[in-house]
Amino acid sequence: MRILYPLALLLTLALSGIAPAQDTLAEGDPPLTAKMATDYTHFMQWTLGTALTVAQEARIQKYLVDSWKANDKAEIKRTLNLLALRDYMLSMHSDTNAWAASSLRRNAMTNWRKSPTLDQALWGVAIYNSARKPLVKDTPPLTRQMEDAYEELGYFMMEQVYGAKPTPIEAVERATLADALANDYPKLSPAEKANFALLPQAWYQLRNGWPTLDDGHKTALVKEWKSHFDPQAAAPTKPKKGAKPPPPPRQPAQTPMMRLINMSWVLNPSVFGGLSGVGQPFGLGWGA
């Protein structure tokens, strides 16, 4: 199994954060605002029926900004029509209607597959497949959406634990990580598999809810994550009275890749419960 989709550029954009809601992202008639981009992204998340990763959100925002900067009238009109449809459906209280989302998803996929060269169709079909095509057939199946959320969540945890953004892994490492996850997935307990399937939602909740947490809650979560990343450092051996403490064991420097491969502890119910308990329970992000 291989993950060849390039995340580096999108992660560079995404991990630096999405612009504040009132910012103008691109000039035009009308100007593209961050609120428009957020509304559009949430609407797509609702339509596609999956929690988006940071990289997917960044790709959608880049598509919108590029369309406006290029004054691509067809793409701009397509965007404005979808935002108008969103407003109409919201006025009909369709944001909580699963049938409406499913119906719109079918129509979108039909149109996108008929126009495979359109930018919107390219990322729309890619997100749909990422959330639904099994990489490992199991109950539930392992999907690309789950793997990408796992990787992004790992970067976030490492940044909080070590105080610096980790270097994103490159394509060959990502293929190795995918193979490792595919090999280990069938060995997980049913509860761990269920948590892996919910990881995209938990990651969405965590990153959106993190700014609202108090310092005590953040500190407790980071301390727990560090205990799993560096278990020996978290539980040092207490020397006998009067004895000279032994030097700490020399450990090879752990790369982001090594930490990601060994991060299946995040699926343990106790750890996962702390993640999924942050922020508002995930719906489909419309209006979040």
Q: Is residue 43 located within the same domain as residue 157? A: no
Q: What distance in Å separates the CA atoms of residue 261 and residue 30, rounded to the nearest whole number? A: 46
Phi, psi at residue 68, to the nearest 5°?
A: -70, -45
* pLDDT (0 to 100) of residue 252: 56
Low pLDDT (below 70) residues in the chain: 1-22, 233-240, 242, 246-252, 284-288
**Token match 């990502």: residue?**
174
Tell me which residue of 174, 133, 122, 230 sits closest to 11, measured CA to CA: 174
Query: Of 111, 132, 153, which residue is a domain's last?
Result: 132
Query: Of 132, 149, 169, which residue is a domain's last?
Result: 132
Q: Which residues contact 223 (CB under 8 A, 6 or more apart)?
A: none
Q: Is residue 140 located within the same domain as residue 52? A: no
DSSP of 169-194, one letter per residue? P-HHHHHHHHHHHHHHGGGS-HHHHH
* pLDDT (0 to 100) of residue 282: 83
Q: Which residues contact 15 (CB under 8 A, 6 or more apart)?
A: 54, 155, 165
pLDDT digits (tens, 9 = 90+) for 71-120: 999 999 999 999 999 999 988 888 888 899 999 999 999 999 999 899 99
Contact 68, 79 (CB under 8 A): no
Domain that holds residue 260: 134-232+255-276
Structure tokens at 138: 């199991």
Q: Is residue 99 located within the same domain as residue 219? A: no
- Please state the domain count of the chain: 2
* pLDDT (0 to 100) of residue 68: 97
Rounded (5°) CA angle 44-282-23: 55
Q: Is residue 171 located within the same domain as residue 203? A: yes
Q: Is residue 83 part of a domain?
A: yes
Query: Of 132, 158, 187, which residue is a domain's last?
Result: 132
